[in-house]
Amino acid sequence: MAGKPRILHPIERASREEIEKLQLQRLRETVKRAYERVPFYHRKLKEAGVRPEDIKTLEDVRKLPFTVKNDLRENYPYGLFAVPLSEIVEIHASSGTTGKPTVVGYTRRDIENWAELMARSFAAAGVTSEDIVYIALGYHWFTGGLGFHYGAQKLGALAVPAGTGFTQRHVMMIRDLGATVLGAVPNYALRLAEVAMEMGVDPARDTKLRTGIFGAEMWSEELRKRINRIWDMESYDIYGMSELYGPGTAIECHLHDGLHVWEDHYLVEVVDPKTGEPVEPEEKGVLVVTPLTHDAMPLIRYWTNDLTFMYDSISCDCGRNMRRIGRIMGRADDMLIINGVNVFPSAVEEVLLSEPRVNHHYQIIVEREGNLDRMYVVVEAAKKMSEEEKQRLASELQYRLHEVLMINPRVQVVDPGELPRQEGGKAKRIIDKRKM
């Protein structure tokens, strides 16, 4: 039922001059509000020797200091708010597994902005008011569920607040309600298909889902191919994080050639992870984002730690003139260093999922053995195999991984169903025992 991609807002087709003029205006307003209303930023900007009036061009953003996740934790819970609590209407928070969570506040204006950005993102994916959007994302501290919900309602689509867990019930409801769009963590789309088939439901034939909008974790092109094939759908990568409202910072258009950043609301940079200096277009680095319309909690040059690149071209054949970033390759802190060699989990996934004899469940385990690091890759077979077949496949995969990674991991192929499942949340792919 999803229709042709359409454009909600004239700014998407505006000239670069018009877009950058609006960005500069909003950047100056953001820096001024942060300086005047948030003690943390007042102090930080003074230490950097920068005043709001020093921001005269977009390039002047480089004069401003970075904001990192630990700054949010150190100002927990309300230290970065620029408005009184009486104006806050919603709170979200990220995981606190490595310390206190990062708390993000929203005013009514923030919620309206977020809904508009998500509606615009849905429209870019071809979703219309005729669609039934099944939202299999958490409705709690995590921003995914409510972000999708607000956007679907803003667009005029039917929003189904399904949440996570109870996978068999989801399969039944997706089929019975005639859902046409699925919002989920990408790995959960395959878990839903796995359970559907166990129930005797063919995801492609027995459901009306034809569009998937997935985010919240790194996923490879090989994983996308599997999702599209098993559901007979077209899937779109969406980007965001709670510090930036949530999902809706950027999304692919129907051409699937990078993610359009909604530049009237975000100023993005890609910088060298070691020096913080800007890198050239098409060169990989850390994404740094300055939200331009955050009311409750202005942020300046937020260091996302996500690795991507900026496209050299600005215009797109879809008609949008918003800059594009590449699909997220992983996080800078997720990169594994194995005996001095940099290993990205995304490279491991690409190799594994290009092999049709394995399914999408795998784990990367790193241990210290004597003076050396050792990496193990455990992956499930797509169907039951003999021990001889599993050993032969493991050897083949080990050879392919060695060719790509330049290290020699040990590969183990196990039977289907042996690795733990995540019923809706992010998949636990990496176990680094060196940090335990």
Task: Name the β-bridge partners of 134.
Answer: 160, 182
Residue 53 is given by DSSP the state G
Dihedral angle sign, alpha carbons of residues 91, 330, 188, 152: positive
Please give the Cα distance from 364 to 366 (Å, whole number): 7
pLDDT at 422: 81
pTM comes to 0.88
| 87: exposed, middle or buried (Cβ count in 10 Å: 0-12, 13-18, 19+) | middle
Per-residue H/E/C for 241-287: EHHHCEEEEEEECCCCCCEEECCCCEEEEEECCCCCCECCCCCCEEE
Residue 398 is given by DSSP the state H
- Choose among 427, 267, 264: nearest CA to 345: 427
- Choose among 331, 350, 424, 216: nearest CA to 377: 350
Please give the Cα distance from 110 to 294 (Å, whole number): 6
pLDDT at 371: 82
- Choose among 409, 393, 389: nearest CA to 401: 409
Average confidence (pLDDT) per 10 residues, the chain, 436 residues: 58 95 98 98 98 98 97 95 98 72 96 97 96 95 96 97 94 98 95 96 98 93 96 98 96 96 98 96 97 98 97 93 94 84 87 94 92 93 96 96 92 95 82 86
- Choose among 404, 337, 406, 331: nearest CA to 368: 337
